[in-house]
Amino acid sequence: MTQQADPAKTRSVGLVHFALALGGFAIGTTEFATMSLLPLFSKGLGINEPTAGHVISAYALGVVVGAPLLAVAAARLSRRTLLILLMALFAIANGASALAPTYGTMLVFRFLSGLPHGAYFGIASLVAASLVPPDRRTRAVGNIMLGLTVATIIGVPFANWLGQAIGWRWGFGVVAILALATVLMVFAFVPYDRPEPGADPLRELTALKRPQVWLTLATGAIGFGGLFAVYTYLASTLMEVTGVSAAAVPLVLAAFGIGLTLGNLIVPRFADRALMPTAGALLLWSAIALALYPLATGNIWTISIAVVAIGFGGSLGTVLQTRLMDVAEDAQSLAAALNHSAFNTANALGPWLGGMAISAGYGWSSTGWVGCALALGGLIFWAISLMTTERRRTEVLQPAE
């Protein structure tokens, strides 16, 4: 007899996932909207735009530093408590960003805003996956990531509109409000849990001793760089190469968000059946889409299709998040948080290499070729990870002589 799911429990899990995804929506909104608000807050703080760009770098640095630091330091806390504290810090730091009187204080507050980012997504993914059967883990993680992807379609344009309509400070203020709403929803719907027996910062650090953790992180840090190489210079490519007006740029940026969202809706269903093959297929998909991108930049329709395809490959983040759950053993929190440090490394690597290609005279479209090379680089680390996993499995199964 087929076991029927308990409707009450299903609704409860759905509310938990929604509460956690709301936090992802808040994070995704501020991460991407800050780029579009840059001309506004640079003028408001009396600095030029290149200098204001350091504010974005300060947030990314906060993510890279905060993800491992907070995950290790809070190892003895329950996951529910940690999620509430992380989102409370995020709310306070974004509220402070909205009130920042000077460039220096803005730098500090954006760094503090970035600290909870990676740890929140890592812990939220672990909580979401723990509430569903093992064969639905990646879909659960995908539900949390949907908050971030939907933010690129709805949250970012809204924050930008708000910033232009009533002042850039409200672009950060609305994120603080969303973060406070997440605190309340996590408190109301996420089930109380006790810290795991034996939880300890030193135990979390054992994740760094596992080669498979490093191979998975390298796959994301390099393989995901291609997406950022294209996205960073997409607006300039649209205006300089495709020849569209500034008003059309947000529509193509939204197409990227649609691709990300579709990827997180579709790909996890395959990943739950075959995790590593799905990761490899996504990297190959990304390499092909990025290689075709330079050929598609001459027309708004073809570039939009290419951008959707590139965004679709962004679901690699969800797949690798689940992979880290498999290889981290009893150091789950640190490994899960480090996934987002890896992707912020990709966010630095991709634009840097893409910018080098543009500065060398290869044109705005050359970011697609750079991205293709990075996706193939990620595929190499994926292959090494797969081969070493299969070799170890063979050694375990092989009878001793």
In a domain, 378, yes or no: yes
Same domain, 182 and 166: yes
User: pTM score > 0.85 for this model?
Assistant: no
d(CA 235, CA 247) in angstroms, rounded, equals 11
**Residues 142, 233: one domain?**
no
The answer to whether the CB of 250 falls within 8 A of the CB of 157 is yes
228 occurs within a structural domain = yes
Domain boundary among 194, 218, 245: 194
On whether residue 131 sits in a domain, the answer given is yes
Report the C-alpha gap between 146 and 89 in whole angstroms.
Answer: 22
Same-domain status, 374 and 227: yes
Say whether both 223 and 296 belong to one domain: yes
- How many other CB atoms are there within 10 angstroms of residue 50's CB atom? 9
How far from chain centre, in Å, is Cα 346? 10
pLDDT of residue 126: 86
Residue 252 domain flag: yes
User: Are residues 103 and 56 located together in one domain of the fold?
Assistant: yes
What pLDDT, on the 0 to 100 scale, is given for residue 9?
46
Best CA proximity match to 343, nearest among 168, 218, 252: 218
Residues 297 and 216 in one domain: yes
pLDDT digits (tens, 9 = 90+) for 185-205: 999 999 887 766 655 565 666
Neighbours of 119 (CB within 10 A): 31
Asked if residue 399 has pLDDT above 80, the reply is no
In the prediction, which pLDDT does 283 show? Answer: 96
Each residue's pLDDT tens digit, 52-62: 777 877 888 88
Domain end marker among 136, 161, 194: 194
| Tokens (6 digits) for 43 | 């003028």
Q: Do 166 and 293 reside in the same domain of the chain?
A: no
Q: What is the mean pLDDT of residues 358-381?
A: 93
CA quadruple 187, 189, 192, 196: dihedral sign:
negative
Contacting residues for 346 by C-beta, under 8 A, at least 6 apart: 220, 221, 222, 223, 224, 225, 227, 228, 374
Question: Is 3 a domain residue?
Answer: no
User: 218 with 258, same domain?
Assistant: yes
Last residue of a domain, one of 194, 220, 246: 194
The amino acid present at 365, given as its one-letter code, is: S
Work out the average pLDDT over 226-251: 84
Beta strands of 273-374 (E only): which ranges?
none
Phi, psi of 3 (to 5 degrees): -75, 125
Phi-psi region of 353 (alpha: psi -120 to 50; beta: other; left: phi over 0): alpha
Percent of the chain exceeding pLDDT 90 equals 38
Query: Measured between alpha carbons, how far is 351 from 354 in angstroms, rounded to an integer?
Result: 5
Within this chain, do residues 273 and 386 fall inside the same structural domain, yes or no?
A: yes
Q: Domain total for the chain?
A: 2
Contacts with 282 (C-beta within 8 Å, 6 or more apart), sequence order: 267, 313, 315, 316, 319
pLDDT digits (tens, 9 = 90+) for 295-347: 999 999 999 999 999 999 989 988 998 888 888 776 677 777 788 888 888 87
3-state secondary structure 72-83: HHCCCCCHHHHH
| Domain interval for residue 326 | 200-392
Say whether both 19 and 43 belong to one domain.
yes
Q: What is the pLDDT of residue 393?
A: 64
Tell how far CA 276 is from the center of its chain.
19
Residues 22-38: pLDDT tens digits? Answer: 999 999 898 878 776 77
Domain identity same for 246 and 109: no
Query: Please, are residues 171 and 37 in contact by the beta-carbon 8 Å criterion?
Result: yes
Closest CA to 155 of 19, 22, 311: 22
* 2 located within any domain: no
- Two structure tokens written together for 144: 């949390």
Domain co-membership, 228 together with 144: no
Q: Could you tell me if residue 5 is inside a domain?
A: no
In a domain, 83, yes or no: yes
Q: Does residue 246 or residue 361 have the better pLDDT?
A: 361
**What whole-number distance in Å separates Cα of residue 332 and Cα of residue 75?**
10
At residue 355, what is the residue type? G
Q: What is the mean pLDDT of residues 124-134?
A: 88
CA end-to-end span of the chain, whole Å? 44
pLDDT band at 5, cuts 50/70/90? very low
What's the CATH number where 384 sits? Answer: 1.20.1250.20
